[in-house]
Amino acid sequence: MSNETYHIPVMLDECIQGLNIKEDGVYVDVTFGGGGHSKAILKKLGPKGKLIAFDQDQDAANNRPADERLVFVQHNFKYLKQFLNYLNVVPVDGILADLGISSYQINEASKGFAHRFDAPLDMRMDQSNSVTAAHIINTYSEKALLNIFNHYGEIKNTYKLVQVILEKRSHKPIQSIAEFKAAIASCTPAKEESKYLSQVFQALRIEVNQELKALEQFLTDVHSVLPIGGRLVVMSYHSLEDRMVKNLIQTGNVEGDLEKDFFGNKHLSFKAINKKPILPSQQELEINKRSRSAKLRVAEKI
């Protein structure tokens, strides 16, 4: 499997430019995936440079190139601070996070991320995780399911969807993608089936992998591992993710609560390099449709 098959890196040039790479610097790619962004970083580094790459997916680990400058950490990026301290590389000069799910993960039917295949309702990025999408569908309370589909999927008919799930699972556990699609068929708009199912599956995936909690921990820790002038480059694909990143840059925390001292001076941790998020070019949108929801923010520690 080639890295291009695994995942086409989104806004590659913009990400590398945002990192402002120094040849002998230490950089972190917290979402290694197919290694596209990491390989581009390595090309910019000299023999004394170093790249730390994180990814919890074993398939991503299999993509790592044989390069002495690369240290691969097969763990979730929420452990960024702990592992960088363990590796004794703090402070690092720049951190890149591409929060999107890889093309390979979507196209690998057995992982259960895509609604166009039939497979077990899994969706785990880390196979050691005990919680699957099937577990959520079959055991979560009405309130919990409403919260997941409302906030993570931004689904319009959430109440009807949850009621249908509760009714169907009371007769028989829902274990596969085909069973789940059949169970919620009455809620699925005929003219927007793909979009609707994508939103439902996205919500489940975020909950299974606790993606927003991991992102919150990561964003809380990045300031402490960067030096003054260090770069943070984050590409998000969901409004909740982008809001957290935007809040961190504008207020110094993911909640968006701007703190001021006695004299009214703002307590800021970063300054935005790009005032508005960078979006994919029209050319990239035509080549890679999955880039259409991407928003790239670049910030520098102050």
pLDDT tens per residue, range 151-197: 999 899 999 999 999 999 999 999 999 999 999 999 999 899 999 99
Residue 1 has pLDDT above 70, yes or no: no
* Packing angle, helices 193-208 and 211-225, rounded to 10: 60
Mean pLDDT of the chain: 92
d(CA 19, CA 94): 6
pLDDT value for 57: 84
Equal CATH topology for 3-104+211-301 and 130-208: no
Question: Which CATH architecture is the domain 3-104+211-301 placed in?
Answer: 3-Layer(aba) Sandwich (3.40)
CATH topology for the 130-208 domain? DNA polymerase; domain 1 (1.10.150)
pLDDT value for 51: 98
Confidence of residue 5 (pLDDT cuts 50, 70, 90): very low
d(CA 214, CA 7): 22
Q: How far is CA 287 from CA 81, 125, 142, 292, in A?
A: 36, 26, 41, 10
pLDDT value for 289: 82
pTM of the model: 0.90
Confidence of residue 290 (pLDDT cuts 50, 70, 90): confident
Mean pLDDT, rounded, for 138-147? 98
Q: How far is CA 263 from CA 252, 259, 301, in A?
A: 18, 11, 22
Beta bridge partners of 29: 53, 96
User: What count of Cα atoms within 13 Å lies in the side-chain half-sphere of residue 64?
Assistant: 23
Judge residue 180's burial from the number of C-beta atoms within 10 Å of its C-beta, 0-12 exposed, 13-18 middle, 19 or more buried.
Answer: buried
- Sorted by where each begins, the domain ranges of the chain are 3-104+211-301, 130-208
- Residue 91: is the preceding peptide bond cis (ω within 30°)? yes
The 10s digit of each residue's pLDDT in 93-122 is 999 999 977 655 666 666 777 888 899 999
Q: Greater confidence, 126 or 29? A: 29
The 10s digit of each residue's pLDDT in 192-211 is 999 999 999 999 999 999 99
